[in-house]
Amino acid sequence: MKKEYKMSMMGELTYFLGLQIKQSDKGTFISQGKYVKDMLKKFDLTQTSAMKTPMAPPLTLNKDPSGKPVNVTDYRGMIGSLLYLTASQPDIMYSTCLCARYQFEPKESHLIAVKRIFRYLKETPNLGLWYPKDSGFDLTGYSDSDFAGCKLDRKSTTVDVNSWEESCTSAIAIANNPVLHSKTKHIEIRYHFIRDHVMNGDIELHFNPTDFQLADIFTKPLDETRFNFLISELGMLNLEE
């Protein structure tokens, strides 16, 4: 690459665009601990009590038309800061995106929900992604839906992690069926390429029981035990500086 681009060696990579990177003979750890602490200070939340999860079940957040309005600029600033943090902390993805729906007319109930996410970050400022050196190259994906979970329009929340596997038994049956039936013509043509790969043996589809459904953390609020289990399954660690 030195022949094509002007480059210089500046030592081992430790910090890049707000990402803290720690490398060892066991693997690589990526976090944004400094960014988290700077956010807490910026929004004057350093003295708040910590929380174990970013959002607690059951989901009660809604449009709240009669609620007390809050400063729109401050609310959007908090949301924007949290969205950037999801690069290393996917555990706050669901709660942050849910609160982001109310940026047009945020109310006090929405601000309380956002502040809870920050209180959770205060509990785990050094949480990040761990990539072990001996990690394999097999791609495994998870798909999950929270049926009619949206409080605004009753739409389902669907998430595909790596967008390869379907956790629905009917979708698996269609993908493994060598014959295309007219009853499935409503399915967009662009989805049939997955079916072709299944038939060729390039992709395997398996039903995934709820207890081991990693995509759960991206579709609904969870209790502390379930939440912590999925964090560990996602390859996230809390390394102290």
As given in the structure block, the two tokens for residue 11 are 């030592």
The CA distance from 95 to 83, in Å, is: 10
Report the amino acid identity of residue 146.
Answer: D
As given in the structure block, the two tokens for residue 211 are 């207890």
Per-residue pLDDT tens over the stretch 138-190: 767 767 766 555 656 656 566 655 533 333 475 656 556 656 555 565 555 55
Sort 207 into a burial class: Cβ within 10 Å, 0-12 / 13-18 / 19+: exposed
State the pLDDT at residue 59.
85
State the pLDDT at residue 215.
81
Four-CA torsion 189, 193, 199, 201, nearest 10 degrees? -170
User: What Rg do the C-alpha atoms of the chain give, in angstroms?
Assistant: 21
Choose among 116, 131, 125: nearest CA to 238: 125
pTM (2 decimals)?
Answer: 0.76
Report the amino acid identity of residue 165.
Answer: E
State the pLDDT at residue 212.
75
Consecutive 10-residue averages of pLDDT for the chain (241 residues) = 78 85 90 94 94 91 93 96 93 94 95 97 92 77 64 60 46 60 54 57 69 83 93 85 49
CB atoms within 10 A of CB 7: 9
221 contact partners, CB below 8 Å, separation of at least 6: 53, 55, 56, 57, 58, 59, 94, 95
State the pLDDT at residue 164.
32
As given in the structure block, the two tokens for residue 114 are 């956002």
179 touches 199 (CB < 8 A): no
With a pLDDT cut of 70, the percent of the chain lying above it is 72
Token pair 């990579």 is found at 13
Q: Count of residues for the chain?
A: 241
Peptide bond connecting 65 to the previous residue in cis, omega within 30 degrees of 0: no
